[in-house]
Amino acid sequence: MADIKQIQNGEPLSFGQQLALTAKLSVPAIVAQLSSILMQYIDASMVGQLGADDSAAIGLVSTSLWLFWGICSAMTMGFSVQVAHRVGAKDYVGARNVLRQAITSSLVFSVVVALIGIAIAYPLPHWLGGSDAICSKATAYFMIFVGALPFLTMNYLGGGMLRCVGDMKTPGLLYALMALLDVVFNFVLIFPTHHYQLGSFEIVIPGADLGVIGAALGTVLAEVLTAGIMNWFLMVREPDLRLVGEHGSYRPNKNILTKALKISAPMTVEHAVICGAQIAVTVIVAPLGVVAIAANAFAVTAESLCYMPGYGIADAATTLVGQSHGAGRHDLVRRFGYITVGLGMLVMTVMGVIMWIAAPLMMELMTPVDSIRELGTKILRIEAWAEPMFAAAIVGYGVFVGVGDTMLPACMNFGSIWLVRVPLAALLAPSFGLTGVWIAMCVELCFRGLIFLVRLFSGKWNKLKKNDLIKDEAIVDGSGQNLY
């Protein structure tokens, strides 16, 4: 049976074993991503029962939340990639030292980002063009989430580190648990007390009746508990990275931070400008009315059921390509790149077909409002045609991150969304409304997938020198002792 240790040990891997290893890592990662999107479905469907205004309040600030979450997530990737390279090179001492630096840096960075988010929480919904009826709820929802960013960032860090050493099962199971906790917490916090009559027995389930605020608190509580368990597994149970009983400095190290910045900075900037473009699209949608805002938000959530498997395969691609690169096995780097991108396109093509067929049901699960359901179904069916090429962009990006090649892919994402999607959406929205915005999105995603495929098959991303991201000078702990 194929095992990721074969990469580190320099053992040969047949094409069948490469496929098996890709599937072995991809399936748990896909489950983890689906669990994540299930949480969004839960939030959307529960809040959808409260009416169009509450749904629009969440939809108004959702893209801004993605900006803050994504910046923190991208920052942790600069450390996770280094760990994948070191584990691939069987440098476990160096990998643990990177983890220590990652913990310190992630906490400091996320606190700063959280404070910035809290500072702009009140004016943000007004900047985005929200009406007075929804701005106060949107502010409260946004503030709760950004205030919890340090905990969410540790969740990203823990899951990313476990995946980079090849442990896909633990994050997958914990994210499934997080989805279950989200259901329980949201049910109790969003709605009022429920009374159920079973024969002569009455069952009372207490409820806080907090509405939008309850949706935010429920999800944050689920994330915080999962982050604690995830990091316990990482630091206590994971044999290659556990820190219990290990000695080493948590003080920032210039060498590691410089490399993390080299990897993360393009990803962070790219995510910021992409989310900026999504926020710009939100501004284009806002004048179209509450129904359009709510339909847009629900459709974005519904579509993520299709593309989240692509992100799961991208996680597997980063691990396989990163460890192969760290082991100096550039033949495997190229083959895993092709295999993972092909698998992603296949899976997301199937998911696109399912979304086109099931679009009415997906929207019905989220809202009882007929006008929102009808518009959401229409735009989902437009987007279904873009899923295969969207997969090429998603998984291709994960492949390039695995070798530390982030600058050019970041520019490709930036150029595609700002030069194609935003201008086209602004052009089509006045005549075609929300439908025109989603036509622009479909066209842009197909274009983005095409340029990522061109980059993948060019092979230039696989020209980095062996271990060029981990060799440099030895890393020294606080006592002056070489760590590797």
DSSP-assigned letters across all residues of 389-439: HHHHHHHHHHHHHHTT--HHHHHHHHHHIIIIIHHHHHHHHHHHTHHHHHH
Count of CA atoms in the C-beta half-sphere (13 A) of 390: 25
SS3 277: helix
What is the spatial distance between Cα 179 and Cα 199, in angstroms, rounded to a whole number? 31
- Specify if 362 maps to a domain: yes
Q: What percent of the chain has pLDDT over 90?
A: 35
- Specify if 296 maps to a domain: yes
Residue 98's contacts (CB-CB under 8 Å, 6 or more residues apart) are 79, 82, 83, 86, 256
Q: Are strands 192-198 and 201-208 parallel, antiparallel or unpaired?
A: antiparallel
Residue for token digits 């396989």?
Answer: 320
Burial profile 338-362: b = 16 or more Cβ within 10 angstroms, e = fewer: ebbbbbbbebbbebbeebbebbeeb
CB 20 within 8 A of CB 26: no
Residue 263's contacts (CB-CB under 8 Å, 6 or more residues apart) are 77, 78, 81, 82, 401, 404, 406, 469
Q: Which residues pair with 196 in a beta bridge?
A: 203
Domain with 327, as residue range(s), is 22-198+206-462
CB 322 within 8 A of CB 88: yes
- Specify if 11 maps to a domain: no
Residue 171's contacts (CB-CB under 8 Å, 6 or more residues apart) are 28, 29, 32, 158, 159, 162, 163, 230
Give the DSSP letter of residue 249: -
DSSP string, 367-383: ---HHHHHHHHHHHHHH
pLDDT under 70: residue ranges of the chain? 1-3, 32-44, 463-484
What is the spatial distance between Cα 74 and Cα 268, in angstroms, rounded to a whole number? 5
Residue 356's contacts (CB-CB under 8 Å, 6 or more residues apart) are 380, 381, 384
- Specify if 468 maps to a domain: no
What is the spatial distance between Cα 363 and Cα 353, in angstroms, rounded to a whole number? 16
Residues composing the chain: 484
What is the spatial distance between Cα 67 and Cα 385, in angstroms, rounded to a whole number? 26
DSSP E strands: which ranges in 167-319?
A: 192-198, 201-208
SS3 116: helix
DSSP string, 250-266: -S--HHHHHHHHHHHHH
What is the spatial distance between Cα 185 and Cα 187, in angstroms, rounded to a whole number? 6
- Specify if 9 maps to a domain: no
Residue 37's contacts (CB-CB under 8 Å, 6 or more residues apart) are 301, 304, 305, 308
CB 189 within 8 A of CB 206: no
How many other CB atoms are there within 10 angstroms of residue 482's CB atom? 10
- Specify if 82 maps to a domain: yes
What is the spatial distance between Cα 482 and Cα 346, in angstroms, rounded to a whole number? 46
Residue 37's pLDDT is 66
Helices (DSSP H) in 128-211: which residue ranges?
Answer: 132-147, 149-164, 169-190
Phi, psi of 148 (to 5 degrees): -95, 10
What is the spatial distance between Cα 396 and Cα 404, in angstroms, rounded to a whole number? 13
Counted domains in the chain: 1
* Cα–Cα distance list, 231 to 92, 103, 113, 160 (Å): 18, 10, 21, 11
SS3 188: helix
- Specify if 476 maps to a domain: no
CB 211 within 8 A of CB 54: yes
Q: What is the pTM of this model?
A: 0.70
CB 193 within 8 A of CB 206: yes
Token reading at 404: 């530390």
* Cα–Cα distance list, 243 to 77, 106, 437 (Å): 19, 17, 49
Token reading at 172: 């997958």
- Specify if 128 maps to a domain: yes
